[in-house]
Copies of this chain bind each other. A is one copy, B any other.
Amino acid sequence: MEEQQVGSLHFQIDFSQPLYEQILDQARSAIAKGEIALGDKMPSVRELAQELRMNPNTVMRAYQELERDGLTEKRRGQGTYVTSSPEHVASFRTALAARYIDSFMEQMESLGFAWEDIEKYIHQKKDTPLGGNGL
């Protein structure tokens, strides 16, 4: 469980998932939550690689995906910057949330839970950490 602060970004790396995926997820999260401001400069590929003690190619892979997501823009010779478009961030956020929801619903339905069961579950969860049975 590695903890690292790089500029305004915070990373927590372990070996449960591919490294590039963890960078990707945590950078996405930071941008979506506004922990790093629109238009801000991201750490350079080499700097982040050095701080996280991994290969530049691994960081590159995460950064390329961030750009495909529309969350960052790259300027040759200058660096990688968080997009200045709030719309890009917003649309990415809702799109990813929709994916998460769909995937989650599939999982729950594969266990025989219906929409109403899930709603109840989620509603209960606010108070009690776990309980109920459903179906």
A residues near B (Cβ < 8 Å) are 25, 28-29, 32-34, 90, 93-94, 96-98, 100-101, 104-105, 107-108, 110-113, 115, 118-119, 121-123, 125-126, 130, 132-135
Give the chain B neighbours of A112 by CB distance below 8 A: 29, 32-34, 93
Known contacts A94-B133, A97-B111, A101-B104; 19 additional CB pairs below 8 A are A29-B111, A29-B112, A33-B112, A93-B135, A94-B132, A97-B108, A97-B113, A97-B121, A97-B134, A98-B130, A100-B104, A100-B107, A101-B122, A101-B125, A115-B126, A118-B122, A119-B119, A119-B123, A122-B122
Give the chain B neighbours of A90 by CB distance below 8 A: 133
Q: How far is the CA of A122 from the CA of B11 in the complex (A)?
A: 30
Give the chain B neighbours of A100 by CB distance below 8 A: 104, 107-108, 111
